[in-house]
Amino acid sequence: MDPHLESRLSRWLHEEQDDEEVIQSESDDGEEVVQPMEQEHLVQEAVNVNHASSSEDDMPLSELAQNNTRDDVYVSRNGTRWSKTCTAATRMFVIACLLACLTAVHALRVGVGIADVTGPPAEIGFMGYANFEQVGHGIHLRQFARAFVLADNNTRIVFVSVDAAMMGNGVRKEVLKRLQKRFGDLYTENNVIVSGTHTHSTPGGFLMDFLFDLPILGFVKETYLALVTGILKSVLTAHNNLTPARMEYGEAELLDANINRSPTSYLRNPPEERAKYKYDVDKTLAQVRFLSKENKILGVINWFAVHPTSMNNTNRLISSDNVGYASILMEKALNGNSTLPGKGNVVCAFASTNLGDVSPNTRGPRCEFSGRPCDQEQMLCTAHKERCFASGPGVDMFDSTRIIATKLYNTAMEVLNQPGEDLTGPLGIVHQFVEMPKQVVSPYDPVSETFNSSAKVSGCLPAMGYSFAAGTTDGPGAFDFKQGTTTSNPLWNAVRDFIAEPTKEDIECHAPKPILLATGRAKFPYEWQPKVVSCAVARVGGLLLAAVPGEFTTMSGRRLRNVVARVAATASATTTASRVVLAGLSNIYSDYIATPEEYQAQRYEAASTIFGPHTLDIYLNKYVELTNAVMKSQRVDPGPSPPDFSEQLISLVPPVLWDAAPWGKEFGDCVKQPHKYYSYGDVVTASFVSGHPRNSVRAGRWLAAVERLVSAQDDAWTTVATDADWETKYIWQRNSKILGTSDAVIEWKIPVGTPPGTYRIHHYGNYKYILGGIYPYHGFSDSFEVT
């Protein structure tokens, strides 16, 4: 409801003056008062709306109130008869009807859901660092999809935050296909946003763009199906949980949790623009919370600009990283600390935003051996083969992950416990596929904050620059590539041309980027990078969510938020949306989006801005168009659908051939037992004869659990932790490829506050029989005491 109208009605309800015409429009202190004639209009309108079908429509209110102690009436200018004493009771009845009518227009329902999307935890490459050696060997934190379905009388919106490196069109397309089998056109590509958190420690091979799947050795069906089924389940759960709700917005500043990893590039932006901001990265945590009619929390979405790269490229355990652990901490706090990850009713996401140049490694870049600061421009060290990389605030990557996650969680809870800004209002969403190389737009001037309509710029075919291969301080690259490279090398150009040679137009279009990979020209075995991207703007009452298909740098994101906010402020005469949030890595992944000024520096983010120096200009123009459309409830052209390469996919990932148990052992046997007694802070370790964890992804089912004895008489045990908990680690070790033997090592660090008692480790798995077939097994360790 319009807050101004609500305030006027409230004041009228409690007004004690006589019902006579008042000439003045303001009280003595300047406060606006509602005139009796206006009261008459508001109430009569409410009566007309809410009692149109009543047989008493034409009955004067004086007759309806004939039992009142006074029966004197007056006749308004339009002839309606009013009782001067139809005071509080009648007024409250009429206002209740009016409020019900107005509220029904934006009757919001919200559903939340969470589901496991953990991919194959062993012998599959991780997506993010593009490091061929980073191959999984277990689980530290499981992956989850967190879905939020919003519906009013006219519109339905789905937002899903997924613990994955990014999102691919093939995954989203298959999820939509399965949803449409159940619900028809209720959920389509026009109203479903799937956003990856950007963790770099989860299995890859699902994007169906050859360059992105190449470090994983191609398409990995197990990863793909785990994501599809998990995302689908989370949306179905949210759909089935739809309930009347309201929305609130809150925010807070969070310091010491992120830094700019390309500060010299940021300084390329105009000083007039930089002067508007206190920091060279965004420090605001934005939050949308959904509450039931009983004021209970249903779900929370948080956005904070930080890369989930606290876990570095030496990690071999699946991890949702800092943002994933922050989600688990918040869900445990709101569902109860004994609630297992992924099992609570309240769902809390920490989703990605403009994190392109933002690192959680707050100690900054240092040289590997000397510990000295690196060269700021090219991130080089003086010693031979000494790498430059940044580290987080902890003693190791696990500790750094915990520290950053705890900062995120604490700030989110601080916001949650403060009064929120009401977001009540209509829902709306527009979506369009955009073929980026074909776009011709007006460039944006960040100083005047206007588009130069007298000039035109265009997009380029996708290409990667030399500095892309240099990596970042979060994960250094290979060979001797350097940040900030603007010249090419004949040897690497020859390698490039063997794959796909750029044309003269390509080289000119991407300048000053020296092209290392002309991905837009590469056709074998299928498309290397997307040319068509997904762009969407969702209106969630008083908030606009700009879903973008890549990693916007800090200043790119600021420019996008600013243009969207300005358009929203003027596009509609009847409704407004004052808050803007950018949802990163949504629907399709198209690498980075640096500003045109940052592009000139050709550091990693600029070299990975695949559509050329005016990529951001194209997006700014497009999101102006989409924002106008969503604010005016207009449809947009769907655009060209991305090509489907599902029939051309290749994979070089070797299959699991068979599993075998050592002589005299069975699958699930505990071959290394825990000690008999432990205390808080101790690490319990048990090893089991294991099958290959790729035999069954076991989405929603555990490979490891910690159980506590609740009844010795009944031999009853309850699960107190799983391989999704922070305190546990599931580590898979291959003993012999020829014999097919392997072990599963399960660790549990006993947290403070664990109830004393009897515990055991429980291992689950599946083995592949040499003559065919996959069979489940499980086994227990000996019991032990926590004192």
Query: Tokens representing 631?
Result: 């604010």
Match 């003045």 to its residue by tokens.
24
Three-state SS sequence of 350-416: EECCCCCCEECCCCEEEECCCCCECCCCCCCCCCCCCCEEEECCCCCHHHHHHHHHHHHHHHHHHHH
For residue 551, say whether it is annotated as part of any ligand binding site. Answer: yes
What distance in Å separates the CA atoms of residue 343 and residue 459, rounded to the nearest whole number? Answer: 45
DSSP 208: -
Give exposure, 427-442, as e/b (b: 16+ Cβ within 10 Å): bbbbbbbbebbebebb
For 671-695, letters b (16+ CB in 10 Å) and e give eeebeeebeeeeebbbbbbbbbbbb
**Length of the chain, in residues:** 787
Cβ–Cβ under 8 Å, residues 87 and 132: no
Element (H, E) at 348: strand 347-351
Helices (H), 460-607: 490-499, 504-510, 554-571, 596-599, 604-607
Token representation of residue 195:
């956003």
Q: How far is it between the farthest Cα atoms of the chain? A: 102
Contacts within 8 Å (CB) and 24+ apart, 485-489: 485/514, 485/602, 485/607, 486/512, 486/513, 486/514, 486/602, 487/514, 488/514, 488/515, 488/516
Tokens matching residue 236: 């179905």
Dump the DSSP string for 615-684.
Answer: HHHHHHHHHHHHHHHHHTT------PPPP--TTT--B-PPPP----PPTT--TT-EEE---SEE-TT-EE
Enzyme catalytic residues? 359
Q: Would you give the end-to-end CA distance of the chain in angstroms? A: 57
Neighbours of 191 (CB within 10 A): 23
DSSP state of 696: -
Q: How far is Cα 362 from Cα 97, in angstroms, rounded to an integer?
A: 55
CB count in 10 Å sphere of residue 743: 16
Q: Which two tokens stand for residue 294?
A: 């009983």
Q: At what angle do helices 397-416 and 321-335 cross, to 10 degrees?
A: 50
Nearest to 131 by CA among 469, 368, 467, 364: 469
CA pair distance 618, 613, nearest whole angstrom = 10
Which tokens hold the place of 578?
A: 């004052």
CA distances from 692 to 154, 685, 768 (A): 49, 20, 8
Confirm whether residue 510 is marked as ligand binding: no
487-502 b/e (C-beta count within 10 Å ≥ 16 → b): ebeeebbeebeeebeb
For residues 560, 561, 567 and 569, what is the CA-based torsion angle, rounded to 10 degrees?
Answer: -170
| Whole-angstrom distance, CA of residue 451 vs CA of residue 444 | 4
Pairing of strands 358-359, 259-260: antiparallel
Known binding residues for Zn(2+) = 198, 307, 551, 592
